[in-house]
């Protein structure tokens, strides 16, 4: 094992925080040898802009857009039909799909898993992709692994890591199986330490990039995001300006003001040291600048004041945080 450093990008909220954008930017500007997914399946959706062209992937890591080896890790789960559909989509758009590899230990989503998800779990706000039943069978030791499928043989990873590695998270901190609002969560571990399942010790971790928007969104049912928020005129307009629809399901996201209480906890538990706060241009278009702190809504006069307050509160409460960047949509800067 000749690993130099590992960087990790996670979501600090409920998913849809622009992790793909950040991972793609890092893949383009840094010298990574691997970009790896460590959890989830095609229930995630990452939107990438390359040379002003928009691409959406659900399972394959964002490193593929910048010619970096892209690994689907052992704690991921794979829908074979969707995987090959995504491979063909990338091929047609000129990307080198030979760089895509799947851990032999990753588990396979079956049609039965999907049907069970639709019948039993969709009411909890799942994407109905078979995620929960597949993970259940994995831990029940009755699942099927990628190494058992001849159709995947050309994509099976040799499990060798070296050089500089970037790990790409799926979903977000508050969808984690342990830390989210159970049972309205995903069925995997979304925190950065779970990335070690790819095959490296935690001592190699250098930077943890945390992604969040300057306002909160949630797709799927969650009592913490009541449907009454959809009736708020300001939040409704914010969602329209931000085009807040799930990239995987197309479902409308419920919008709320940025909850700094939740964000601070996510930063501190995850160990995030570099934060990227996206979509500042969207809230500027709305021209209403609010945030939640100590369970109360606060109002700022302008974007600069909001950014200064967010920065101050994070710096005062998050000792590990070293850098905070504010980003426009869809680009990093």
Q: Is residue 154 part of a domain?
A: yes
For residue 98, pLDDT over 90 is answered with yes
pLDDT tens digits, one per residue of 144-184: 999 999 999 999 999 999 999 999 999 999 999 999 999 99
| Count of domains forming the chain | 2
Here the tokens at position 326 are 């504010």
Range of the domain at 296: 216-326
Based on the residue annotation, tell me whether 46 is a catalytic residue of this protein.
Answer: yes
Based on the residue annotation, tell me whether 82 is a catalytic residue of this protein.
Answer: no
Which domain-ending residue is among 183, 213, 243?
A: 213
Q: What is the CATH number of the domain that holds 309?
A: 3.90.170.10
State the average pLDDT for the chain: 94
Do 209 and 251 fall within a single domain? no
Q: Is residue 77 part of a domain?
A: yes
Do 10 and 95 fall within a single domain? yes
Instruction: Name the nearest CA neighbour of 58 among 39, 45, 73.
Output: 45
Ramachandran class of 239: left when φ > 0, alpha when ψ lies in -120 to 50, beta otherwise:
alpha
Inter-helix orientation angle 260-270/303-317, to 10°? 40
For residue 331, pLDDT over 70 is answered with no
Do 255 and 320 fall within a single domain? yes
pLDDT at 333: 41
Catalytic member of 7, 16, 216, 222: 16
Which domain-ending residue is among 213, 244, 279?
A: 213
pLDDT tens digits, one per residue of 39-76: 999 998 788 888 889 998 999 999 999 999 999 999 99
Do 183 and 271 fall within a single domain? no
Identify the burial level of 29 via C-beta atoms within 10 angstroms of its C-beta, where 0-12 means exposed, 13-18 middle and 19 or more buried: exposed
Which domain-ending residue is among 166, 181, 213?
A: 213
Do 163 and 230 fall within a single domain? no
Do 72 and 175 fall within a single domain? yes
Q: Is residue 44 part of a domain?
A: yes
pLDDT at 232: 96
- Confidence grade of residue 19 (pLDDT, cut at 50, 70, 90): very high
Catalytic member of 25, 46, 107, 113: 46
Do 18 and 90 fall within a single domain? yes
Q: Is residue 199 part of a domain?
A: yes
Q: Is residue 119 part of a domain?
A: no
CA distances (Å), origin 46, targets 2, 60, 82, 169, 185: 29, 9, 15, 10, 18
Do 240 and 208 fall within a single domain? no
Q: What is the CATH number of the domain that holds 195?
A: 3.40.440.10
Do 207 and 224 fall within a single domain? no
């Amino acid at each position: 094992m000749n690993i130099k450093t590992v960087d990790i990008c996670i979501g600090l909220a409920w998913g849809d925080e622009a992790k793909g954008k950040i991972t793609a930017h890092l893949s383009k500007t840094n010298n990574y040898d691997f970009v790896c997914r460590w959890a989830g399946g095609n229930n995630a959706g990452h939107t990438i802009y390359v040379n002003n062209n928009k691409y959406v992937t659900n399972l394959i890591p964002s490193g593929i857009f910048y010619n970096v080896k892209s690994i689907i890790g052992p704690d991921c789960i794979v829908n074979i039909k969707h995987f090959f559909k995504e491979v063909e989509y990338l091929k047609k758009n000129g990307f080198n799909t030979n760089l895509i590899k799947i851990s032999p230990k990753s588990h396979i989503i079956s049609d039965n898993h999907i049907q069970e998800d639709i019948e039993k779990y969709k009411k909890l706000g799942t994407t109905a992709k078979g995620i929960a039943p597949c993970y259940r069978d994995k831990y029940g030791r009755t699942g099927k692994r990628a190494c058992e499928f001849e159709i995947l043989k050309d994509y099976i990873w040799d499990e060798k890591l070296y050089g500089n590695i970037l790990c790409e998270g799926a979903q977000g901190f508050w969808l984690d199986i342990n830390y989210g609002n159970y049972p309205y969560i995903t069925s995997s571990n979304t925190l950065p330490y779970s990335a070690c399942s790819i095959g490296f010790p935690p001592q190699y971790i250098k930077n943890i990039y945390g992604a969040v928007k300057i306002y909160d969104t949630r797709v799927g049912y969650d009592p913490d995001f009541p449907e009454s928020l959809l009736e708020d005129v300001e939040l409704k307009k914010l969602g329209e300006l931000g085009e807040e629809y799930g990239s995987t399901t197309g479902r409308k996201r419920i919008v709320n003001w940025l909850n700094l209480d939740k964000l601070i906890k996510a930063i501190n538990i995850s160990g995030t040291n570099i934060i990227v706060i996206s979509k500042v241009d969207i809230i500027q278009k709305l021209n209403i600048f609010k945030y939640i702190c100590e369970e109360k809504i606060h109002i700022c006069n302008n974007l600069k004041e909001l950014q200064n307050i967010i920065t101050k509160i994070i710096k005062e409460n998050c000792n590990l945080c070293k850098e905070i960047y504010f980003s426009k949509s869809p680009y990093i800067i």
